[in-house]
Amino acid sequence: MRLKVAIIGSGPAGYYTAEGLVKQFGDQVEIDIIDRLPTPFGLIRAGVAPDHQSIKGVTRRYEETQAAGDIRFFGNLQIGDAISIAELRELYHAVVLATGAPHDRPLGVPGDGLPGVIGAAAFVGWYNGHPDFVDLAPPLDTSAVAVIGNGNVAIDVARVLVKSPDEMAGSDLARHAAELIHASAIRDVYVFGRRSLLDVSFTPKEVGELAELTELTDAVPLVDPGQLPPDGAEAALDPGQRKVIGHLRSFALRRADEKPRRIHFVFCARPLRVLGEDRATGLELERTCVRDGQAVGTGETFTIDCGLVIPCIGYRTRSIAGVPFDNARGRFVNDEGLIEPGLYCVGWSRRGPSGTIGTNRPDGFAIAEKIAAAGLTGERAGRAGLGRLIEERDLWVVGFDDWKTIDAAEVARARIGAPREKFVRIEEMLAAAGRSG
Ligand code: NAP
């Protein structure tokens, strides 16, 4: 019996699971990787910052995986819509949800629904050319932006907002975003952390990203010296985190008038309310102190004027009909990746939005081991059955070779110095693949 596995989602978690399965089962496994977009690689394409091309290079590994086993890519196929989870579970011994966490966690303060409040999932998707967010049109006619959160996403967003066109020349920043960002009126980007400078979630491995901020052409990173912890306060932290803190301390030595744009890191400030009548015009915050690791309000408030608020406070998985969902945590209910016999989840849809790309490798391998240990038996129709459903329902599916055609077309139309110019609408992608009928 050959094992038949469907993996839903073609990002890192999906491809590492496929790699783990090939390692476990060799040619005794048939793997179908299904994605709702015609393009594979999930967050690598639509989440990793466009100016971090070396990180995006990890897709070469996924291409090797794709070639190593009996793996087929089915793009442009929405599970839960065109084909249900129940139908897939009939067809495959195991179905693995590797659907990531594509929705923003709500900020949960009055005014957070106003135009001009745009969560990081949407904003990052927009500048990365994700088809869901092409028409977002964020209000970049504002001189000030509030970025909320002290994680790696906040750093990415702040940096992309202030980098010069020359600094972004080697990136794959989507054209519509480049036009708006580089014509923007932005002068001040505030990055607000609700806890202290010692409690940031910027990871030591990404310390280069903080260093990069010190060398930007048009922008200077700033920390109010009054917010610095006492000398040596970070002594108990590990060396990597001490380096992060060292960079933040160095920002206190910079001057606001050094460059035309500024990134202000403001700590111990939590959002209370987005101000504005019919669009965001400002943010009210409360100063906090940290007690037992928690941000506690002091009652002292202040406001800033800003026309754009970007919460970078974490993500949620999209629920799927028929799959138990933990609404509080924004991920599938699971026990170490097992949802129900034959149904698994992996990556952010299993553990929530934590860790870096590499974290998904052991995660994917663990799910492959779990599937191996489950001793799944019986004959399943697998790919042949999926093919029949696709044909019966007249669905328009994109294969890996089609993706390679799209990929080549994007590379061919890149502006000088850039790796590619992405197609940002699904129709354009299908047309590039020669599939527009
Ligand atoms: P994150 O690292 O979990 O940081 C979230 C931040 O938002 C924290 O500072 C958190 O503060 C704050 N926050 C949460 N709820 C809040 C609220 N209601 N009000 C104010 N602040 C709030 O999340 P992320 O930056 O979205 O990153 C997600 C994952 O992707 C992380 O694992 C990250 O490392 C990874 N990532 C990696 C890279 C890279 O490797 N280059 C790039 C981007 C993302 P508290 O700490 O007080 O909770």
Number of the ligand 1 atom closest to the C-alpha atom of 201: 2
Within this chain, domains 3-102+317-432 and 105-311 share the same CATH topology = no
What pLDDT, in 10s, does the model give residues 375-402? 999 999 999 999 999 999 999 999 999 9
Number of the ligand 1 atom closest to the C-alpha atom of 294: 47
Distance 98 CA to ligand 1 centre (A): 20
Distance 138 CA to ligand 1 centre (A): 21
- Percentage of the chain surpassing pLDDT 90? 96
Residues whose CB is less than 8 angstroms from the CB of residue 268 and which lie 6 or more positions away in sequence, other chains included? 193, 194, 195, 196, 227, 287, 288, 289, 290, 295
- State mean pLDDT over 296-300: 98
Lining ligand 1 with CB less than 6 A are: 148-154, 156, 193-195, 199, 201, 203, 206, 270-271, 295, 312-314, 353-356
- pLDDT for 81 equals 84
Q: Are 33 and 10 in contact (CB under 8 A)?
A: yes
CA–CA dist 34, 75 (Å, integer): 6
Q: Are 148 and 309 in contact (CB under 8 A)?
A: yes
Helix (H) or strand (E) holding 3: strand 3-8
What pLDDT, in 10s, does the model give residues 60-84? 999 999 999 999 999 999 998 889 9
Of 204-208, 289-293, 299-303, the least confident: 204-208
- Ligand 1 atom 29: residue of nearest CA: 354
Distance 346 CA to ligand 1 centre (A): 19
Q: Are 173 and 130 in contact (CB under 8 A)?
A: no
- State mean pLDDT over 316-338: 96
- pLDDT for 185 equals 95
Residue 359's φ and ψ, nearest 5 degrees, are -60, -25
Is the pLDDT reported for residue 332 higher than 80?
yes
- Percentage of the chain surpassing pLDDT 70? 99
Residue 102: Cβ within 10 Å count:
23
436 pLDDT band (50/70/90 cuts)?
low
Q: Are 78 and 85 in contact (CB under 8 A)?
A: no
- State mean pLDDT over 221-233: 95
Distance 314 CA to ligand 1 centre (A): 5
Q: Domain residue spans in the chain?
A: 3-102+317-432, 105-311
> In angstroms, how far is CA 229 from the centroid of its own chain?
31
- Ligand 1 atom 31: residue of nearest CA: 354
Ligand 1 pocket test target in 44, 147, 153, 195 with most atoms within 8 Å of CB: 153
Is the pLDDT reported for residue 437 higher than 60?
no
- Ligand 1 atom 35: residue of nearest CA: 356
201 to 138, 189, 207, 433: CA distances (angstroms): 26, 18, 11, 40
Q: Which two structure tokens, joined as six digits, stand for 210? A: 């903080």
- Ligand 1 atom 38: residue of nearest CA: 152
- State mean pLDDT over 183-208: 93
Number of the ligand 1 atom closest to the C-alpha atom of 108: 18
Decide if domain 105-311 falls under CATH 3.40.50.170: no
Is the pLDDT reported for residue 316 higher than 80?
yes
351: three-class secondary structure by DSSP: helix
**Cut 0.85: pTM above it:** yes
Q: Which two structure tokens, joined as six digits, stand for 379? A: 């004959």
Averaged pLDDT score across all residues of the chain: 96
CA–CA dist 34, 198 (Å, integer): 42
Question: Which of 70, 59, 56 has the alpha carbon at shortest distance from 10?
Answer: 59
Please give the full DSSP string across 17-57, using - where no structure is assigned. Answer: HHHHHHHHHGGGEEEEEE-SSSS--HHHHHTS-TT-HHHHT
Strand 269-275: give its sheet, edge to edge.
269-275, 282-291, 294-305
Is the pLDDT reported for residue 128 higher than 70?
yes
204 pLDDT band (50/70/90 cuts)?
confident
- pLDDT for 329 equals 95
Distance 284 CA to ligand 1 centre (A): 21
Distance 206 CA to ligand 1 centre (A): 13
The residue count of the chain comes to 437
- State mean pLDDT over 217-229: 97
User: Is residue 139 classed exposed, middle or buried when 0-12, 13-18 and 19+ CB atoms within 10 A define those classes?
Assistant: middle
Distance 123 CA to ligand 1 centre (A): 15
Ligand 1 pocket test target in 56, 273, 313 with most atoms within 8 Å of CB: 313
- Ligand 1 atom 2: residue of nearest CA: 151
Q: Provide the CATH topology of domain 3-102+317-432.
A: Rossmann fold (3.40.50)
Distance 355 CA to ligand 1 centre (A): 10
Distance 48 CA to ligand 1 centre (A): 14
β 269-275/282-291 pair status: antiparallel
Is the pLDDT reported for residue 206 higher than 90?
no
264 to 68, 146, 213, 252, 299: CA distances (angstroms): 47, 10, 11, 10, 22
121: three-class secondary structure by DSSP: helix
Distance 406 CA to ligand 1 centre (A): 33
104 to 50, 101, 121: CA distances (angstroms): 20, 8, 6
Is the pLDDT reported for residue 341 higher than 60?
yes
Q: Which two structure tokens, joined as six digits, stand for 72? A: 């087929």
Residue 26: Cβ within 10 Å count:
11
CA–CA dist 417, 273 (Å, integer): 42
- pLDDT for 435 equals 65
CA–CA dist 319, 160 (Å, integer): 30
Is the pLDDT reported for residue 208 higher than 90?
no
